[in-house]
């Protein structure tokens, strides 16, 4: 039974490749998920701060935040990655002695941290704009009413603005997560063996195009899973708006 | 049953497509398109104008002259250099490519025209010239991705951290800034770097003994398996150039030592 299943699968898949390199593909998948999860989470925190800076009454703060989101949303992620990765490389020789003293050299020389930082900076810009829009969509009257009741500024954010804004931002934030999963494939150009990196490695050994097909299917699976989860979450969280 | 039918139809469709795209009959080789990487000096490189230059360009242009054929050059990223040959973007690869068993499954190689050892280089601060896997345990070693050097590292240096780069130049950059402890590549390409940009940061460590399984017989030109006539043409031209001294004449412009 197992044998005939294998035969059928063999019509579509190159089982030899999966036997030899399946483990590498899974490792790559793990790194991709980790990269995206870490940078989207950090990006959310940073994005929240930037969204508030954008809405701040201080022109300096809102101006800086505006420049930030314009730059990171207006330039290619690959360009940003090379700027950060090789740009930092220029400073590494000078920093080396200090970093070795405090035992952080191993992290700073590695590509991982710089890829996470670049991805975080990039996704923070997109998330900030989504969050800013969502917060502006909460009617002003609610803030005024809360002030009239004597609520403190932070209390207003915590109990009135954020809960409503996050619901509005849910969909765009989900889209951003999906975009990051796909965009993260450029991590392989900075020496990381993420899903795309492993795929390129295997392709170089086998010259078998089907590896790229497997990678595409895995990306599709990730994206589709998240899309469905997001759909469920949205239905659940928005149930009070249904009539 | 249904699956088999579908598979058959797909196979027929793929075959029809391939015969449309690929050359159906043996060609009369008057014009030859040559694929190279253009990022592996001194073998092949792109100059400021974006034109190919280097030892391989001069050498093969010389061969083309002798064979009385017109040769045009195409620059192609290393990762896709064999697939692009197979999909008929050019007819032959001349890109410092070692004739390994893995590659021979997909393409045929001409006679060898360069045989240089791979080598290790390192930052100036490296304390020993010992390159045994035990000595390099825990070190960070870089190589160009998809090369025999990366395969060599994967096979023997399992306890080191290995980094694969899109081009050799990016690996060199990361050795210079301290991200890498060592680099493995063809000795000639590495000496080229050490004599120029890498003068201050880096130094030569040691030659690597060739592993025939990984490193192959030497550098050859790759052709599609069906183009046996093209392979024979170049085999003859290479053999002659090695005998009559014309190979040496070109090589001596680029190298101070024997590369064959």
Q: What integer pLDDT is reported at residue A207 of this predicted model?
A: 80
Tens digits of residue pLDDT in A21-80:
999 999 999 999 999 999 999 999 999 999 999 999 999 999 999 999 999 999 999 999
CA distance A91 to chain B (A): 8
* Number of helices (H), then strands (E), in chain A: 11, 0
Q: Considering only residues B220 and B3, tell me which one the structure prediction assigns the higher pLDDT.
A: B220
CB count, 10 Å around CB of A240?
7
Provide the token pair at B153.
Answer: 């590292």
The arrangement of secondary structure in B118-215, i.e. its CATH architecture, is 3-Layer(aba) Sandwich (3.40)
Cβ A134 vs Cβ A166: under 8 Å: yes
Residue contact A204–B79, C-beta within 8 A: yes
Average the pLDDT over B27-45 and give the result. Answer: 91
Q: What integer pLDDT is reported at residue B9 of this predicted model?
A: 63
B218 DSSP 8-state letter: S
- Partner B contacted by A193 (CB < 8 A): yes
CB count, 10 Å around CB of A101?
9
Where exactly are the structural domains of chain A? 11-241
Per DSSP, the residues of A138-149 read: S-HHHHHHHHHT
Evaluate whether the domain defined by A11-241 bears CATH number 1.10.3720.10: yes
Evaluate whether the domain defined by B31-115+217-251 bears CATH number 3.40.190.10: yes
Query: Over pLDDT 90: what percentage of chain A?
Result: 80
CA distance B78 to chain A (A): 10
The DSSP H or E segment spanning A71 is helix A59-74
CA end-to-end span of chain A, whole Å? 51
Nearest C-alpha neighbor of B133 from the set B161, B91, B97, B102: B161
Q: What integer pLDDT is reported at residue B24 of this predicted model?
A: 44
Nearest C-alpha neighbor of A36 from the set A228, A226, A242: A226
Average the pLDDT over B59-85 and give the result. Answer: 94
Is B118-215 in the same CATH topology as B31-115+217-251?
yes
CA distance B227 to B224: 5
Q: What integer pLDDT is reported at residue B79 of this predicted model?
A: 85
Nearest C-alpha neighbor of A196 from the set A207, A206, A176, A181: A181
Residue contact A89–B142, C-beta within 8 A: no
Residue from A7, A86, A191, A207 whose CB has the most chain B CBs within 10 Å, to mutate = A191
Three-state DSSP state, B174: helix
Residue contact A11–B3, C-beta within 8 A: yes
Where exactly are the structural domains of chain B? 31-115+217-251, 118-215
Three-state DSSP state, B42: coil
CA distance B204 to B126: 10
CA distance B22 to A18: 29
Instruction: Give the sign of the dihedral formed by CA B158, CA B163, CA B167, CA B169.
Output: negative
Give the nearest chain A residue to B79 (CA atoms).
Answer: A204
Nearest C-alpha neighbor of A204 from the set B75, B90, B166: B166
- pLDDT band for B107, please (50, 70, 90 cuts): very high
Number of C-alpha atoms within 13 angstroms, CB side, residue B199? 3
* pTM score: 0.81
Could you tell me which residues are beta bridge partners of residue B109? B222
Tens digits of residue pLDDT in A73-109:
999 999 999 999 999 988 998 999 999 999 999 899 9
| B72 Cβ neighbours under 8 A, 6+ residues apart | B31, B32, B33, B34
């Amino acid at each position: 039974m197992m044998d005939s299943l294998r035969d059928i699968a063999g019509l579509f898949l190159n089982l030899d490749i999966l036997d030899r390199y399946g483990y590498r593909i899974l490792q790559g998948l793990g790194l991709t998920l980790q990269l995206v999860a870490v940078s989207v989470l950090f990006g959310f925190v940073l994005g929240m701060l930037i969204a508030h800076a954008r809405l701040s009454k201080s022109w300096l703060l809102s101006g800086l935040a505006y420049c930030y989101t314009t730059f990171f949303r207006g330039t290619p992620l690959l360009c940003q990655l090379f700027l950060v990765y090789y740009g930092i490389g220029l400073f590494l020789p000078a920093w080396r002695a200090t970093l070795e003293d405090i035992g952080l050299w191993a992290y700073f020389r590695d590509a991982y941290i710089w890829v996470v930082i670049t991805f975080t900076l990039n996704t923070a810009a997109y998330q900030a704009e989504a969050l800013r829009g969502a917060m502006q969509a909460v009617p002003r009257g609610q803030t005024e009413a809360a002030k009239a009741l004597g609520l403190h500024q932070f209390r207003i954010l915590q109990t009135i603005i954020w809960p409503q804004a996050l619901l509005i931002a849910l969909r765009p934030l989900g889209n951003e997560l999906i975009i990051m999963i796909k965009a993260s494939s450029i991590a392989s150009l900075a020496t990381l063996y993420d899903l795309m990196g492993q795929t390129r490695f295997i392709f170089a050994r086998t010259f078998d195009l089907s590896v790229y097909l497997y990678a595409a299917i895995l990306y599709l699976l990730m994206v589709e899973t998240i899309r469905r989860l997001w759909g469920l979450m949205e239905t659940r969280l928005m149930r009070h708006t249904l009539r | 049953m249904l699956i088999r039918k579908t598979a058959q139809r797909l196979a027929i469709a793929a075959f029809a497509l391939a015969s449309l795209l690929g050359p159906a009959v043996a060609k009369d080789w008057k014009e030859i398109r040559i694929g190279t990487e253009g990022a592996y000096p001194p073998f092949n490189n792109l100059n400021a104008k974006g034109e190919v230059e280097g030892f391989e360009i001069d050498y093969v242009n010389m061969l083309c002259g002798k064979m009385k054929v017109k040769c045009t050059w195409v620059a192609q990223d290393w990762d896709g250099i064999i697939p692009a040959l197979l999909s008929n973007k050019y007819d032959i690869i001349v890109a410092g490519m070692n004739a390994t068993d893995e590659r021979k499954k997909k393409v045929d190689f001409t006679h060898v025209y360069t045989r240089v050892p791979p080598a290790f280089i390192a930052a100036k601060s490296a304390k020993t010239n010992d390159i045994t896997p035990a000595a390099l345990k825990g070190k960070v070693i870089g190589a160009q991705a998809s090369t025999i050097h990366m395969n060599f590292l994967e096979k023997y240096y399992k306890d080191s951290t290995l980094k694969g780069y899109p081009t050799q130049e990016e690996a060199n950059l990361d050795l210079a800034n301290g991200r890498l402890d060592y680099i493995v590549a063809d000795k000639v390409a590495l000496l080229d770097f050490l004599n120029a940009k890498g003068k201050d940061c880096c130094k030569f460590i040691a030659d690597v003994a060739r592993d025939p399984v990984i490193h192959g017989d030497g550098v050859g030109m790759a052709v599609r398996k069906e183009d046996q006539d093209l392979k024979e043409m170049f085999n003859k031209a290479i053999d002659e150039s090695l005998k009559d001294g014309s190979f040496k004449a070109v090589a001596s412009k680029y190298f101070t030592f024997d590369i064959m």
